[in-house]
Amino acid sequence: MSAEQDFTKRKLWGGRFTGTTDPLLFEYNESLSYDKRMHAQDIRGSQAYARALVKCNILTESEKDEIVAGLDKVGQEWKDGTFKIQPDDEDIHTANERRLKELIGPVAGKLHTGRSRNDQVATDMRLWLMDEALAIEIFLKELVQVMVARAREEVDALMPGYTHLQRAQPIRWSHLLLSHATYFAADLARLRSFIPRISVLPLGSGPLAGNPFEGMDRDAIAKDLGFQTVGTNSMNSVSDRDFVVEFLMWASLTAIHLSKIAEDFIIYSSAEFGFIQLSDAYTTGSSIMPQKKNPDSLELLRGKSGRIFGQMSGFMMSLKGIPSTYNKDLQEDKEPMFDAVDTIRNSLQIATGVISTLSIFPEKMKAALTTDMLATDLAEYLVRKGIPFRETHHISGSAVRLSEEKKCQLSDLSLADLQGLSDKFEDDVMKVWSFEESVGRRNAKGGTSRRAVLEQCDTLKRELDL
């Protein structure tokens, strides 16, 4: 059998090797089991490279057309689920090229001219992540849109605001919801700013030293594949995985934001609070306690944040000691990236489902408000009478202590009780004991008044539309 005829049975790197690979090492080394999900991107990159080889006089127009058409057939087999993986297929690149050779013959062997799996895999990964980032952007926008819509609709519901998990000041339910939506809007902005750093073309860098063939137009390849820029240093291009790290960092932070809202809603859905209730679609029951309605969806959102962070920290430890340029350690880049993409994409959709279907109980929220939460309003009343805040804070604190001694609500103190603490208290102090008035006074930009909350809704909508 000639070397040419044996093409489909030889590894791309096998020319200098006479022995066989340890079967365990082959299994340890292979990546097709997981990198096959980049089959479409690998084919797109190969087709663009075939078009570029025409300008280098490596391929004729007819050879290029034959390769492009053959790759279309390979891609269709992946779509149809009919692609047959062979035992010697190490990765998606060798699998696709092997199948292309079976379909169109020896001309397939020209496709790899001047190209290495080093620049090929980096190109595939960037293409794949660009596609996924655009899909994730849509899911993230949908999440914020749902939160903004609920905030507008439920703007009149009041509830306690908490610091240190202690009742602090009255707020609008919408204000709480938008506080989380603002985190996600920032995540969206970070994702959008990150896309140009993914969209850097490695193809045409060869294994590390660059492409040797006259006429190799990397700018044309970038335009063909939709990359915004071209890698400026071939050594960097084949080994750079900062875009993977940055995505894992982004996904970790976004997952933490999902965890934060999940924790709030777990607390507020408990019987002790009863502010919200999750729909049956996002809860489960207990195997032994029939009364239970467990917020599993939220608990999983909280737990998945640790999973994504673990993927990030694990890959960074793999990356930190690698010398220039490509080393096999970099094969550890794909599984963390794939898993983080899957996890954050699913998490965003679950969060959107939870928030769009949950019920709120405004009366329970309002019933949890107590007038001691208006102690700051009492201090602010005296500020408006000309007393410095540090002094009014002390006076208001004394009023709280007095109410505790009398075992009554702060609002139950009489005018005489208050005037015993400061002669600045007048009849109009009784207007302080209104939760609606309290939130209404927080009218500065970013506050919890009705106008300020609706303004936040408008701001977030504009950010989504950018």
Choose the catalytic residue: 33, 270, 279, 286. Answer: 286
Strands 359-360 and 229-230: unpaired
Residues with Cβ within 8 Å of 49's Cβ and at least 6 positions away in sequence, in order, are 111, 115, 203, 221
The closest of 286, 348, 319, 291 to 137, measured between CA atoms, is 348
Residue 286: active-site member: yes
Choose the catalytic residue: 2, 62, 164, 287. Answer: 164
Please, how many CA atoms are within 13 Å of residue 91, restricted to the half-sphere of its CB? 19
DSSP state at residue 259: H
The closest of 124, 73, 130 to 334, measured between CA atoms, is 124
Residue 164: active-site member: yes
The closest of 250, 238, 307 to 129, measured between CA atoms, is 250
Question: Which residue reads 């927080």 in tokens?
Answer: 442
The answer to whether the beta carbons of residues 147 and 179 sit under 8 Å apart is no
Phi and psi at 155, nearest 5°, equal: -65, -20
Question: Which residue reads 């936040």 in tokens?
Answer: 456
Q: How far does CA 121 lie from the centroid of its chain?
A: 23
Phi and psi at 314, nearest 5°, equal: -65, -45
Give the active site residues. Answer: 164, 286
